[in-house]
Amino acid sequence: MSWGLATPEIVLAISAMAILIGGVLQKRDSSLICTMAALGACAITAVLVIGTRSDVGFYGLFVSDAFSKFAKLLILLGTALCAILSLDYNQRQGIGRFEFPVLMLLSTVGMMVMASANNLMTLYMGLELQSLAIYVLAAFARDDIRSSEAGLKYFVLSALASGLLLYGISLTYGFSGSMDFIHIAQAVTNPASVSTGLIVGIAFVIAGLAFKLSAVPFHMWTPDVYEGAPTPVTAFMSTAPKVAPFVVLLRVMFGPFGHIAIQWQPIIIVVAIASMLLGSFAAIAQTNIKRLMAYSSIGHMGYALIGLAAGTQTGVRGVLVYLLTYVVMSAGVFACIVAMRRRGHAIENISDLGGLAKNDPTLAILMTIFMLSMGGIPPFAGFAGKFFVFEAAVDAGMWTLAIIGVLTSVVGLFYYLRVIKVMFFDPSEAPFDARSGSLSFVAMATGVFTLVFFFFPAPFLGAATTAAKALFG
């Protein structure tokens, strides 16, 4: 056996259970200690991920390579940032319970398994573990009707998507004779003679994963769930659980189905264009900042899909850079949203940000950086993501995709600018409650990263290039 390959996942799973036991045994409120322990577990796991050797193990079910390592580190980063965000929010909302970090860790284990999946069954198992934990997290504020609704909605729709995915897996198995990525790749080599059943299978697999990515037309759950779920959970949903399905999608499309790219590229192109259009136009009318971020994340997934649609190594590199920048700036935006509290109540209307530039210039400037970065204005990190996916599209000669991409980013910029407008130009509302140190830390750290990323991108770009190379063997 090759236990060594899965050490990070095993360690993280055991730590999650240990924290659970520790939490149960504590008489007093132990959410702070448990969250700290969870952060420690993330850090240790990250070190272990870096130290893991690159190999295939567990009879071909599990793979560890530069690509999976990049993805896992990104997932751990997202989890850690959101765990810090949850500290203050849960306390103030009265939902500070130790199960919260435990569920986050279990979800993270699922995501890491997804990143290492080398078999459709491993993929499905990881995906379900991730999702099950998030259903509970979305409904974590159990006395809040919106949160319960969000949890239920996510559960029902996500179960449907899992069904679609499973159906696609079974079709793929039936028409290719294997669930193993390597064997499928060997069986499916000629794009001209692919059976229709397999194509239908691929379409269902894409549909199942697109649901988790909240790409159009499987995005319907996103605004409601984003709005209803407790803000740190929304933050979590828009970071790490976006990365994991995306890297799985990359691995499945370029691994087992890599030879028949010509068959699935049109599907991805359509999904990408639809996501970019909907993400930019539907967001214009939003008044709730969490709903706004939901549409924004739909749009962002559309841009990232451009890299996949390009079907090249450059494209994969673009996607990885995009995901990295997206995770960081999303965490930053949500740190600012968590900070939106007035007289002990969380507020989420965009208009509540009015006059923030006067009351809290630091927060306003940070939010401005994130908004401009999301809109793709240089020199912020978000521009780097767009730059490298558009590069891939131009390299591959996909001009339609590139032109639609840049034009929708203009529309997208409109609503990001509107947020800035509210903060800087509108009359002042009452100031927010004092921020906690943990929030300021996340906002500052992600803000600085967003600001300087494109000035020193070489190490990240190098890592993304190595990861992309690993995917293409």
Partner 1 sequence: MIEANAAGFPVLSLVTFLPLLGVAILMTLRGDDETTAQNARWTALWTSLIVFLMSLVLWTRFDLHEAGYQFRESADWLPAYGIGYRMGVDGISVLFVLLSTALTPVCILASWDSVRARVREYMAAFLLLETMMVGMFSASDFLLFYFFFEGVLIPMYLIIGIWGGPRRVYASLKFFLYTFAGSVLMLLSLLAMWHQAGSTDITTLLHTPFSPRMQFWLFLGFLAAFAVKVPMWPVHTWLPDAHVEAPTAGSVILAGVLLKMGAYGFLRFSVPMLPIAAQHFAPLMFALGVIAVIYTSLVALAQEDMKKLIAYSSVAHMGVVTIGIFTFNIQGIDGALFQMISHGVVSAALFLCVGVIYDRMHTREIARYGGLADRMPAYAFVFMLFTMASIGLPGTSGFVGEFLVLVGAFQVNLWLALLGSFGMVLGAAYMLYLYRRVIFGQLVRPDLKSILDLSPREMVIFAPLAILTIWLGIYPSSFTSFFGATVSAMVDQHAQALNLAHATTKLAGAVP
Binding site for partner 1 (CB under 8 A): 357-358, 361, 372, 376-379, 387, 390-391, 394-395, 399, 402-403, 406-407, 409-410, 413-414, 417-418, 420-421, 424-425, 455, 457-458, 461
What whole-number distance in Å separates Cα of residue 34 and Cα of residue 26?
10
User: Mapping DSSP to helix (H, G, I), strand (E, B) and coil, where does residue 287 land?
Assistant: coil
Nearer to partner 1, 30 or 280 (CB): 280
Nearer to partner 1, 59 or 399 (CB): 399
Nearer to partner 1, 182 or 413 (CB): 413
Count of Cβ atoms closer than 10 Å to residue 434 Cβ: 9
Q: How far is the CB of 47 from partner 1 (least distance, A)?
A: 28
Nearer to partner 1, 220 or 403 (CB): 403
Q: How far is the CB of 181 from partner 1 (least distance, A)?
A: 30
The HSE-up count of residue 272 (CA atoms within 13 Å, CB side) is 28
Report the chain's terminal Cα–Cα distance, integer Å: 23
SS3 content of the chain, % helix, strand, coil (to 5): 80, 5, 20
Instruction: Please state whether beta strands 341-342 and 345-346 pair in parallel, antiparallel, or not at all (unpaired).
Output: antiparallel
Report in angstroms the alpha-carbon separations of 144 from 59, 138, 148, 151: 46, 11, 6, 11
Q: How far is the CB of 444 from partner 1 (least distance, A)?
A: 15
What whole-number distance in Å separates Cα of residue 328 and Cα of residue 330?
5
Stated as kind and residue range, the H or E segment containing 57 is strand 55-57
Q: How far is the CB of 230 from partner 1 (least distance, A)?
A: 33
Q: How far is the CB of 307 from partner 1 (least distance, A)?
A: 13
Nearer to partner 1, 333 or 396 (CB): 396
Which residues is 63 bridged to in the sheet? 56
Q: How far is the CB of 375 from partner 1 (least distance, A)?
A: 8
Nearer to partner 1, 86 or 368 (CB): 368
Q: How far is the CB of 54 from partner 1 (least distance, A)?
A: 22
Q: How far is the CB of 365 from partner 1 (least distance, A)?
A: 10
- Looking at residue 238, what DSSP letter applies? T
Nearer to partner 1, 26 or 351 (CB): 351
Q: How far is the CB of 355 from partner 1 (least distance, A)?
A: 11
Nearer to partner 1, 180 or 391 (CB): 391
Q: How far is the CB of 357 from partner 1 (least distance, A)?
A: 8
The DSSP-derived string for 260-273 is: GHHHHHHHHHHHHH
Nearer to partner 1, 17 or 407 (CB): 407
User: Mapping DSSP to helix (H, G, I), strand (E, B) and coil, where does residue 64 land?
Assistant: strand
Sign of CA dihedral 343, 346, 352, 356: positive
User: Mapping DSSP to helix (H, G, I), strand (E, B) and coil, where does residue 245 land?
Assistant: helix
Contacts of 339 (CB under 8 A, 6+ apart): 363, 432, 435, 439, 443
Q: At what angle do helices 458-471 and 240-254 cross, to 10 degrees?
A: 40
Sequence-ordered alpha helix ranges (H) in 120-195: 120-138, 145-176, 181-187
What does residue 345 show for φ and ψ, rounded to 5 degrees?
-110, 140
What whole-number distance in Å separates Cα of residue 25 and Cα of residue 404?
56
Nearer to partner 1, 59 or 414 (CB): 414
Residue 276, Cα to own-chain centre: how many angstroms? Answer: 16
The HSE-up count of residue 312 (CA atoms within 13 Å, CB side) is 15
User: Mapping DSSP to helix (H, G, I), strand (E, B) and coil, where does residue 184 land?
Assistant: helix
Nearer to partner 1, 58 or 281 (CB): 281
What whole-number distance in Å separates Cα of residue 115 and Cα of residue 127?
10
Q: How far is the CB of 380 from partner 1 (least distance, A)?
A: 10
Nearer to partner 1, 326 or 390 (CB): 390
Strands (E), 53-130: 55-57, 62-64
Q: How far is the CB of 392 from partner 1 (least distance, A)?
A: 9
Sign of CA dihedral 453, 455, 456, 457: positive
